[in-house]
Amino acid sequence: MTGGDRATPQPQRGQAGWQDPGPRDVVRDRQNPDLLTPPSTDAGTLPNLQFSFSDAHTRIQRGGWTREVTVRELPIATELCGVDMTLEPGAYRELHWHKQSEWAYVSRGSARISAVDQEGRNFLDDVRAGDLWFFPQGVPHHIQALDEGVEFLLVFDDGAFTENGTFLISDFFAHTPKEVLAKNFGWRPEQLDSIPEREKYIFAGEVPPPLDRDRVVSPTGDVPRTLTHRLQAQQPQRFPGGQVRIADVGQFAASTTICAALVEVDPGGMRELHWHPTDDEWQYYLSGHGRMGCSPARVWPAPSTCAPATSGTCRSPTATTSRTSATSLWSSWRFSASPGSRTSP
Give the mean pLDDT of 214-241: 93
| SS3 sequence of the chain | CCCECCCCECCEECCEECCCCCCCCHHHHHHCHHHHCCCCCCCCCCCCCEEEHHHCCEEEECCEEEEEECCCCCCCCCCCEEEEEEECCCCEEEEEECCCCEEEEEEEEEEEEEEECCCCCEEEEEEECCEEEEECCCCCEEEEEEEEEEEEEEEECCCCCCHHHCEEHHHHHHCCCHHHHHHHHCCCHHHHCCCCCCCCCEECCCCCCCHHHHCCCCCCCECCCCCEEEHHHCCCEEECCEEEEEECCCCCCCCCCCEEEEEEECCCCEEEEEECCCCCEEEEEEECCEEEEEECCCCCCEEEEECCCEEEEECCCCEEEEEECCCCCEEEEEEECCCCCCCCC
Is 276 marked within a binding site? Answer: yes
* CB-CB contact of 267 with 259 (8 Å): no
Please, what is the average pLDDT of the chain?
A: 87
Give CA–CA dist 107/265, Å, rounded. 18
Is 98 marked within a binding site? Answer: yes
The domain over range 234-336 is classified in CATH as 2.60.120.10: yes
> What does the pLDDT look like over 63-83, one tens digit per residue?
999 999 999 999 999 999 999
> What does the pLDDT look like over 71-130, one tens digit per residue?
999 999 999 999 999 999 999 999 999 999 999 999 999 999 999 999 999 999 999 999
Give the mean pLDDT of 258-286: 89
Could you state, in order of their start, the residue ranges of all structural domains in the chain? 58-229, 234-336
- Return the sign of the alpha-carbon dihedral for residues 197, 201, 206, 210: positive
> What does the pLDDT look like over 14-32, one tens digit per residue?
999 999 999 999 999 998 8
List the helix and strand counts (H, then E) for the chain: 5, 24
Is 57 marked within a binding site? Answer: no
Identity of the amino acid at 291:
R
Is 179 marked within a binding site? Answer: no
Residues with a known catalytic role: 93, 96, 98, 102, 141, 163
First-residue to last-residue Cα distance in the chain: 38
Is 102 marked within a binding site? Answer: yes
CATH for 58-229 is 2.60.120.10
Kindly report the pTM of this predicted structure: 0.88
Give CA–CA dist 131/308, Å, rounded. 19
